[in-house]
Structures are given as structure tokens and as C-alpha cells.
Structure 1
Amino acid sequence: MNSGIRARAARRVATAALAVALAAGTATACEEEPRGGGDGKAADASAPPSAAAGKGTAPTPSGSAAPPAAEPPSRGRTLTGAELAEAALATGDVPGYEVTPLQGGDEPGTEKADEPACAPLAAVINGTPEPAAAATVYRTAVDFEEEGQATQTVVTLILTSHRGGGARQVIASLRTAVDTCGGGFTTRGAGSVSAYSDVRTLPAPPAGDESLAYQVTGAVTGAKVPLVFHVVRRGASVVTFYTANFVDARTPEVPAELIRAQTAKLP
């Protein structure tokens, strides 16, 4: 399987079966064709990003939460790695969530899209949004109140800062890729081939200067696995929220409160 961001974050995914399935830290949502399909390690976690799967419910335009509070103007400058880490969510920022550094976050995936137009989508799956960031910080947010549930919410956050117009370009290139690659795409890396399908835009809650939400459907041993990404730009910084559903084919949800809280912390 792709060794990108998908499963390394699932260290907290809850049931014993899930813990075992994700223990290898490679719970991706793609089928490795050269090896005759997925190895089944991505068993589940209806909890979010990176290996956990989100709650198996379809997202709404703004979630069920109240409208977000107005955000102060962004300073618009490129943050250093230390500043980005300071701006990342921490345990206590959002009630009910434990936030920790993403295990293996310094080892991004290496998948390359066969279709150049789909390269931005593959880059995000790898945990390295393009254009290349000046600094990157990875975090995992887990709903500890759902501990032990197969649908425990686990979300991976990728915070990146960019020089020049890089942050705007991240969003723009993803919008184009989602429109262009709606029929799916394939990636190759480390001797494996991953197939993705059903690339489509999702409603995105208002956040930052601009935001985009989309779903990419992968497969594990023939079963469809929806991956959901919410990408938010604030000034020269971008936050990518990732979640997946390894339990069933329903679209998982990135909790709106996480998006609002993280965006508000960016200077």
C-alpha cells in the first residue's frame, strides 16, 4: 500500500481489530495491483485522516455546528517551522480531542500520478501538497470520547507555509485537478500501483481566505474506501485535513469544529 499520510495517523483507531489492522502504519485506501490487491491492513476506522476513518456520515455544507466566528485579518507572511508548530492545534483547543504529532509524519509517501494533471491530488495523498512548502507540520486529532468505537474520529492535519503565491497555487491546482480527474487516476511508487476513482468536490464549510473539500475513492481488497480532504488557505499558510472510512463506503466527515479552531490559530 501507499505509505503516505493515510494510515500512520491511525495509531489511535480504536477496536482491537483496527489496532491490529493499522499496526503496520500503512493503512492506505488504495489497492496495490502488483501484489494482487490490498493486504487488508486498512481494515477500518471510520475515523478520519490518515488511517483512521471519519464518522461514516455524509458531510453537510457547514456541518451541524453554529456559524464560525469572524477571523481576524491574516498577517499574510510565510511562517517558519517553529511558528507553524506553534499555530498547530493542541490538546485542549477543541473539547474532546487529543492532538499529537503524526507518527511517521517525516516520512511522506512517494506515489507519482500517471496523469500529470492529477499530480496535485497524489501530492496531497503523499502528505506533501504542491508547490513545495517552506515548512510543514503534521498533527493527528483523535476524538477520545469515541475511544473503543469502530467509527472513532481520527483526522490528520498537514500544515504548510508557502513563499510567493504558493499557498494560492495549492488551492488553485487542486481545484483544477478535481475537475480534470473526476474519472479517477492511478499512482505508482515503491513497486506498487494504486487506483483511485470518483474524484469529486464536496461542500466545504467557510474557513480562511478560501477553502476546498473533495473526495477521492480508493480500494482495499476490492472494497471502496472514501478519502476526504478539506484544504483551507489563510494568508500564506495552508491546512489540509484528511480522513478516511475503512468501515463502509459512506463519505466520512471532517468535524467543522476542528477546521474552525485550526484556521483561527493561524496568524
Structure 2
Amino acid sequence: MKVRTTVMAATVAVLCLTAGACGPDDSADKGDGKDGGKAGSKASASPTPGADAGSAPGPTPTSNGRTLTEAELTEVALVNGELPEYDFAKMPGGDERGTEQSEDEACRPIASIINGSPEPAPAATVFRTAMDTSEEGQDDQTVVTEILTSHAPGGAEQLLRSVRDAVKACADGFRTTSDDGPSTYSGVKALPAPEAGQESLAYQVTGSIEGEGVPLVFQLVRTGSTVVTFYAVNFLSAMTPEVPAELVTAQVAKLP
């Protein structure tokens, strides 16, 4: 199974991330990620079956704990030619940020990720989109958003810790307010974490567009003081989307 979105939906995915558009109404969400939907063939990023979101082991960061500059983050972001059949580009509107504020303080870390503004605030941020060109012209072309962030010492660990705690605290969902109005997220659940980096976690948030449940999946992978957030959304069904394993592996391999 793999991430399934249309190319047109990729634009909406950008809005979901930077403008809080995945939960613009106040109605209850209908999808819980468990019912039927179109599925593909690629696996998730080497999940550990039954693993807790954040159970991926890893060594203590040493020399690679340096805080990267924006220029250095740009250098380690995947580019065309480095991963066959994938096209990488700067994310349209990447300089914009969402304005969603969680009504429950415990869920604030999740809302911050949705806004494209993880907390604690990164020292530098780079946005990219990855599209599977082998699916060119298909109405379910694979599209994944990447957010590369660098942090002051201890900040990357704090980010993953706070998000992990929020996933547990907000299992029953949460509400937000923003410049675009209220949003309702009906549930949050941990997913198997990718075996990558020194620490990782994965989770699904069920949002809503016009009353229809929309599953949003986030995978966070930390190496030293750098975190890569992989974001995918399924607009075609309530099936949980997954991030292609080769994408995570290739991107994390470039981190210093």
C-alpha cells in the first residue's frame, strides 16, 4: 500500500499543511482510516510490526548533532536524479505557515506540525515535495511532502518527545481555531515507526474536508539535531496512506 493522492490534491495537501485546510468545518469526521479504499503496492518505511510510535532504537548523537544552516539543509534535501522515478521540487507556498491553534494545550504539538511550524521553533526549515513520476497521468499519483528542520542542541529530541506525548493525549481527537475558522480532528493514532535515523515516530490524524474524513499521516525521523517530517494525505478514501520506504531511506541517508 502507498500514499494515494491526485496531482490536483497535492495542491490541497499544501494548503492542509500551511493553512489548516484539512479541517475547515465543524462537523464530525466520517472516516477512521479502517474502511475500504484504493491501495497500491509500495510498503511503508520499513515499519516495525506492532511498534510504538517512537520505539525505533538508535545511538546517542555525537558529532552529527550540529545545527545545520538553511543552506546546509538545502544541500541534504533530495534532488532530481538521486532517487529513480521521483521528482523533487520546492513546495509552493512553503514560506507560508498555518494558523491553527489547538483548544487543548496537550494537542498543540500536533497542530504545530500541521501548520508547518514544529515546536520548539527550528533554526532553519526547508520544504520539498516528492512525486512518483512513474505514475504520471494517473489520478492517484504518489505525492509526499517533506519538511527538513534543524534545531538547537536538545531541540530535535524535545520535538519528537512532545509530539509523541501529544499522540497519546489526543487519541480522541481535538479542535482548533484559525484564521479560516474552526477545525475538527476526530482522532489521532500511533502507527509503526520507520526504522530510520536515531529516533522516529509515526502517527495518523483524521481531518475533515466538507464533512468527509481525511486521513493525514506524519512520519518524523531524527538524526542528530535534524528532523525530517514526511507528510501524506489520502483524499480518495479513508484508507491510511503510507510513505514509500525508499523515499525515507534515501532522504535519511543524506543527513550528516
Under TM normalisation by the shorter chain, which class is it?
Answer: 0.7 to 0.9
| Moved segments of 4+, more than 2 Å | 21-29, 54-61, 70-74
| Deviation per residue, 1:205-253 (Å, 9 max, x gap) | 2100000000000111221100000000000000000000000000011
Structure 2: state its 5+ residue gaps.
30-37, 48-57
Aligned pair 1:143/2:163, yes or no? no
- Once residues 237 and 224 of structure 1 are traced to their aligned partners in structure 2, the CA distance between those partners, rounded to angstroms, is 32
Among 134, 137, 155, which residue is 1:166 paired with?
A: 155
Q: Which residue is equivalent to 1:131?
A: 120
Equivalences for residues 181-220 of structure 1 within 5 A: 181-220=170-209
**Identity level (%):** 54
Residues 30-69 of structure 1 mapped to structure 2, 5 A cutoff: 30-33=23-26, 60=44, 62=46
Does 2:66 match 1:82?
no
Distance 2:107 2:198 in 1: 24
How far apart are 1:22 and its partner, in Å? Answer: 4.3
Higher relative contact order at CA 8 Å, sep ≥6: structure 1 or structure 2?
Answer: 2
For structure 1, the residue ranges without an aligned partner over 5 or more in a row are 1-11, 39-53, 64-69
Superposed CA deviations along residues 140-182 of structure 1, whole A, max 9, x for unmatched, are 0000111122221110000000002000011000100000000
How far apart are the structure 1 equivalents of 2:12 and 2:202? 28
Contact (CA 8 Å) 1:204, 1:212: kept in 2 or not?
yes
CA contact (8 A) 2:43 2:245 kept: no
- Counterpart of 1:101 (choices 90, 102, 105) is 90
Task: Check the 8 A contact 2:28/2:186 in 1, yes or no.
Answer: no
More displaced 10-residue stretch of structure 1: 73-82 or 21-30: 21-30
How many angstroms apart in 2 are the aligned matches of 1:238 and 1:166? 10
CA distance in 2, matches of 1:82, 1:152: 30
Shift of the alpha carbon at 1:108?
1.1
Which amino acid is the alignment partner of residue 155 of structure 1? V
Question: CA–CA distance in 1 between the matches of 2:211 and 2:41?
Answer: 21
Give the secondary-structure state (helix, strand or coil) at the position aligned to 1:141: strand
SS in 2 for 1:171: helix
How does the TM-score come out when normalised to structure 2?
A: 0.82
TM-score between both structures, scaled by the size of structure 1: 0.78
Which AA in structure 1 matches 2:88? V
Separation in structure 2 between the aligned mates of residue 171 and residue 75 of structure 1, nearest angstrom = 17
What secondary structure does 1:107 align onto?
coil
SS at match of 2:72: helix
**Given residue 163 of structure 2, which amino acid in structure 1 is its aligned partner?**
L
Count of residues in Structure 1 that have an aligned counterpart in Structure 2: 231
